[in-house]
Amino acid sequence: MNPSRLDKLSASLRTSGLDALALNPSPSLVYLTGLHFHLMERPVVAVFTADAPPVIVLPELEMLKVEGLPVRAFPYGENPAAWEDVFRAALASLNLDGKRIGVEPRALRLLEFRYLQAAAPAAAFPDASDVVSRLRVRKDADEVAAMRRAVQIAQSALEAAIPLIKIGMTEKELAAELVMQLLRHGSQPEMPFAPIVSAGPNSANPHASPTDRPLQPGDLLVVDWGAAFDGYISDLTRTFAVGATSPRALSRAVDAEYEKIHRIVQEANAAGRAAARPGVPCAAVDLAARAVIEGAGYGAFFTHRTGHGIGMEGHEDPYIRGDNQQILEPGMAFTVEPGIYLPGRNGVRIEDNVVITEEGAECLSDMPREMRVVG
């Protein structure tokens, strides 16, 4: 349990109009309690109120995880027919029927929701995403240190994989090599996402999955990858040119336009990072990066927001998009990842991880952003 975070949650519940917060296994549950549970067929739900110890419904086989903790446990056995009664007893112990029980819609499954609803049929279950986000959005020094280490692991892993890239290697083969290097360099096995390795026409798809397509001379190669350390993640992207590894000029490795769009994206990335500082809206970072690409005539080919928050999850608040007026504050961490995608041809994305400081912003990633020739 994290008493400081639980105290902040209690204060937030008192001012939010919520009587309780119900969480199933999720990053938010880990953030508040340090408890890790698998999402499985056996439901686990913790319920937090402002003035009482948390209540948790869980399988009997998980009881050792809460032994000695300041929680009231309501365990159940293997017979699903008895589970509803256990949920009813747990919520009745907090007198929550007819009250407002906040939930996280992106995390709470229908499985857990139906048990909660049956246990408190007169209760309302409003969206409490903002309540939880306000707790998690400003990272403390330990959280930033973990993300900084996750960035270092990711960068070292890709640098180790680069010399192994060869023309004819498939996207899947490179992705597999990168995963091995991430583990060797210290990433937790549960990584933030499967690496995106996409080349040539596939690189024009921002969220492509690695395929059996071999790397070919003239391809742009987009690698979007990350590591996990102590529960926190990194999320980076670099774009390479596939060509011979001899000292030939870059202009002989890729088409001149591809070199041009890489340079534009690199400038947009720099502009976005430069715009990040406390007191400015998220929209300002997006607009600064987007202005570079639009000014170069490629605005129609930048098809997504400039970034998203990172921390315990790969996508969380704050979201760096042009209509988001949320003000950046010290401790907020996010990506800056502009891109240009030419359908059927090639794409470029350059992504860095940034955290807002008291004076400005710190870029946690420093892997070279210039186009490098691989293969």
Domain of residue 316, CATH code? 3.90.230.10
User: pLDDT-derived band of residue 1, with 50, 70 and 90 as boundaries?
Assistant: confident
Report, as an integer, the average pLDDT of 273-286: 98
Question: Do residue 7 and residue 118 come from a single domain?
Answer: yes
**In this predicted model, what pLDDT tens digit does every residue of 284-340 receive, in sequence order?**
999 999 999 999 999 999 999 999 999 999 999 999 999 999 999 999 999 999 999
Return the structure tokens found at 227: 């590591």
**In this predicted model, what pLDDT tens digit does every residue of 224-245 receive, in sequence order?**
999 999 999 999 999 999 985 4
Report, as an integer, the average pLDDT of 110-135: 97
Question: Do residue 316 and residue 365 come from a single domain?
Answer: yes
Q: How many domains does the chain have?
A: 2
Q: Please tell me whether residue 307 adopts helix, strand or coil conformation.
A: strand
Give residue 91's domain range. 3-135
Considering 135, 160, 194, which residue would you say is the last residue of a domain? 135
Question: Do residue 153 and residue 286 come from a single domain?
Answer: yes
Q: Which residues pair with 75 in a beta bridge?
A: 58
Report, as an integer, the average pLDDT of 33-45: 96
Question: Do residue 19 and residue 118 come from a single domain?
Answer: yes
Contacts of 25 (CB under 8 A, 6+ apart): 36, 37, 38, 39, 44
Contacts of 41 (CB under 8 A, 6+ apart): 111
Burial classification of residue 193, based on how many CB atoms lie within 10 Å of its CB (0-12 exposed, 13-18 middle, 19 or more buried): middle
Q: Are the beta carbons of 229 and 149 closer than 8 angstroms?
A: yes
Q: What is the pLDDT of residue 191?
A: 94
On average, the pLDDT of the chain sits at 96
pTM: 0.93
Contacts of 293 (CB under 8 A, 6+ apart): 264, 265, 268, 299, 301, 302, 338, 340
Q: Which residues pair with 76 in a beta bridge?
A: 59
Q: Which residues pair with 196 in a beta bridge?
A: 224
Report how far residue 344's alpha carbon sits from residue 305's, in angstroms, rounded to the nearest whole number. Answer: 21
CATH of the domain at 122: 3.40.350.10
